[in-house]
Structure 1
């Protein structure tokens, strides 16, 4: 059965796009080479990363959404959006293997007049270079003449209830003006505002700038957190006051590390590294070690050693109120604490099972009871279900890495 849209890649990025398209009345298929997520979605079950809930998946299916592993379906759509993952490789460059595989699968079925869009984070030049070459070689068609080709950076913020798909402007950069307009016509059905970039390279670099902006500013406040602790200054109060400035300042807050799918990129293909981003990455990567250092110091100040100490970690996901653990600093923090000889347990309402070094980490059923029993409780993620005022009363010793507890109720990062 023909469809208007194929979303290629059913991960944390592709699924919300498919959801928005389905809700807008666009006949949508979801393609993935991995049969496991396809089977889970077809059964109406939520993905592991929690990007959508089971009821949301079931509503999509009721509206006609069809997950599939059949490449023949890709030859029956008017628009195809590639949302394949691009993790960092060993050289800290983005790994484009999944994008290439997705493009090859599409190329064998690509028809004239199809609009092909890429949303995966990629180095500038990928759309008009690698992607174009793969599509043209596999289809025998020419981009900009036989089919439209454009890039639009993914901008979704998982769990954000204020800025959804429709309220977040879409940036578009097409290979030709006609490609841009074709992409704009598609995204105009999903979002309130479309922003036209000069071309695909500019649109690709938008994603690079937005992601690195986040990481650099988090690194700044992470360094400020270390400095303020040494000076005896309440950084959280500093940020509270600073964010009252109506211009020239945007509040970022420190934490135990930087997780998520939007990884900072300090090298751009074969081009020179971005020195500031490289330094920011080093600062952020040191935060789990700093949290462990603070934990050990706190225990020592209260007459206890990290060796043999019972340490409870609260919230092990990378973002509040979501089960997604992509890039969460909790894993490294747990490993380092275990290396010090601590007995680590955890509590997280969104994660029923957690393994570190292939070994199960004990999960606390009763939060207050576990906090009262632990020598040290460390808040790594502030889920809405946590009553931090009550927790601060029950816990023997509480280290808050998110600045979420009331003033004076805990030791803050």
Structure 2
């Protein structure tokens, strides 16, 4: 059976995409450089939150296969690149994984093939980095093969929107490339939105996340001065969002996490500085504000302990929820990490609980895991709700705690409860 598509990178983006294509009856090959991931998937076992073992087993039964064999990329009619693009040392995107994936495709490229980049990056990457590498063998984009960019929009843990019903933005190197990409995605995605070109599609993803980044920074800064002024910001937001137009609610927190919000806007900021020589001030200010939130939480913790006549040094501080968003195990860029590190640096006895994280690697064992959160909050000098997982009975935990610092605005008001 011919392979309709090879998905390169089988993580939070690539695997749900492969699932939907397989469900639509397409023969899908998954490629990843991690042999353990490939072996687990072929055995019907998932390694991401959004797909269960049963989901992966169903994919395998439907013809999905994972491989580390690069030579098999040439079997596919379409190659979709879904590899990570973390920040480099200079603040721009680290494109090494993208370049490696593109080079692998280039070695197997054949006439008529569709190549799509989904990895988030700066405007111009598809045309300036991907296209020359693919064309090095003599085939020409838009003439001999099709090239497009389609930004990933996966929101891990979102039960309402997934790969199928989230509109898919597509920008082609040429109109024919856009048509080929739209036809490919249209088989298993409900709505395809065509951008003018690859740069517009690349920038659309950055605009989406920059919008969120800046608005989160706005409410994070408001949280600080509202506390000083004795204003309940959570009540302010509830009142403001009653307006049926012109306002979208964003909420403060202990920092921002995940692969998108704390990282993607920096691609745009870095690109503006590098190409145009001036700063993207909104993004840089938002980054400054959001990155300061863990330190602000530490200061609030210290102030609350002072009210009980306790120093932060030597006090037991329990962190509840250390993932970057609720109800998933994903810890990428979680603000719980800098928060815990700063507490440790000030001499606190840091403990944590998270139903999705049995072992917290980034802290290297410096944070002790509490097995029972209810018993843990009763024994800790202060508890910080960092992430509100559905498994937590926040009312009970807040009532049981010596001091309860709620960074998510969900705990009932009380003498022992304090909000961000």
Q: How does 1:63-78 map to 2 (within 5 A)?
A: 63-78=62-77
Matched, 1:229 2:239: no
Matched, 1:353 2:356: no
Find the counterpart in structure 1 of residue 14 from structure 2.
14
Offset at residue 350 of structure 1 (A): 0.2
Q: How does 1:314-333 map to 2 (within 5 A)?
A: 314-333=320-339
Alpha-carbon displacement from aligned partner over 1:90-112 (angstroms, at most 9, x marks no partner)? 11101111100000001111111
Find the counterpart in structure 2 of residue 267 from structure 1.
270
Offset at residue 406 of structure 1 (A): 2.3
Unaligned 5+ segments in structure 1 are: none
Number of residue pairs matched? 411
Runs of 4+ displaced beyond 6 Å:
none
Offset at residue 51 of structure 1 (A): 4.2
d(CA) in 1 for partners of 2:131, 2:50 = 29
CA contact (8 A) 2:220 2:290 kept: yes
Q: How does 1:119-268 map to 2 (within 5 A)?
A: 119-137=118-136, 139-262=137-260, 263=263, 264-265=265-266, 266-268=269-271
Matched, 1:281 2:280: no
SS in 1 for 2:368: coil
Matched, 1:293 2:292: no
SS in 2 for 1:225: helix
CA contact (8 A) 1:29 1:65 kept: yes
Find the counterpart in structure 1 of residue 377 from structure 2.
371
Matched, 1:42 2:45: no
d(CA) in 2 for partners of 1:114, 1:329 = 41
SS in 2 for 1:290: helix
The answer to which of 152-161 and 29-38 deviates more is 29-38
Alpha-carbon displacement from aligned partner over 1:230-285 (angstroms, at most 9, x marks no partner)? 11100000000111111211111010010001122121172243111011001000
Find the counterpart in structure 2 of residue 32 from structure 1.
32
SS in 1 for 2:275: coil
d(CA) in 1 for partners of 2:370, 2:46 = 24
Offset at residue 34 of structure 1 (A): 2.5
Offset at residue 360 of structure 1 (A): 4.7
Alpha-carbon displacement from aligned partner over 1:364-385 (angstroms, at most 9, x marks no partner)? 1111111101110100000011
d(CA) in 2 for partners of 1:399, 1:224 = 18
Question: Residue 407 of structure 2: which of 396, 401, 404 is its match?
Answer: 401
SS in 2 for 1:149: strand
SS in 2 for 1:324: coil
CA contact (8 A) 1:371 1:377 kept: yes
SS in 1 for 2:338: helix
Offset at residue 357 of structure 1 (A): 4.4
Offset at residue 361 of structure 1 (A): 2.4
Alpha-carbon displacement from aligned partner over 1:139-168 (angstroms, at most 9, x marks no partner)? 321100000101111111111111222221
d(CA) in 1 for partners of 2:87, 2:190 = 32
Unaligned 5+ segments in structure 2 are: none
Find the counterpart in structure 1 of residue 317 from structure 2.
311
CA contact (8 A) 2:49 2:156 kept: no
d(CA) in 1 for partners of 2:402, 2:56 = 42
SS in 1 for 2:108: coil
Offset at residue 117 of structure 1 (A): 0.6
Offset at residue 411 of structure 1 (A): 0.5
Offset at residue 355 of structure 1 (A): 3.3
d(CA) in 2 for partners of 1:205, 1:342 = 43
Offset at residue 57 of structure 1 (A): 1.9
Find the counterpart in structure 2 of residue 105 from structure 1.
104
d(CA) in 1 for partners of 2:110, 2:301 = 59
What is the Cα-based RMSD across aligned positions, in Å?
Answer: 1.3
CA separation of 1:27 and 1:356: change in aligned 2, threshold 3 A: closer
TM-score with structure 2 setting the length: 0.95
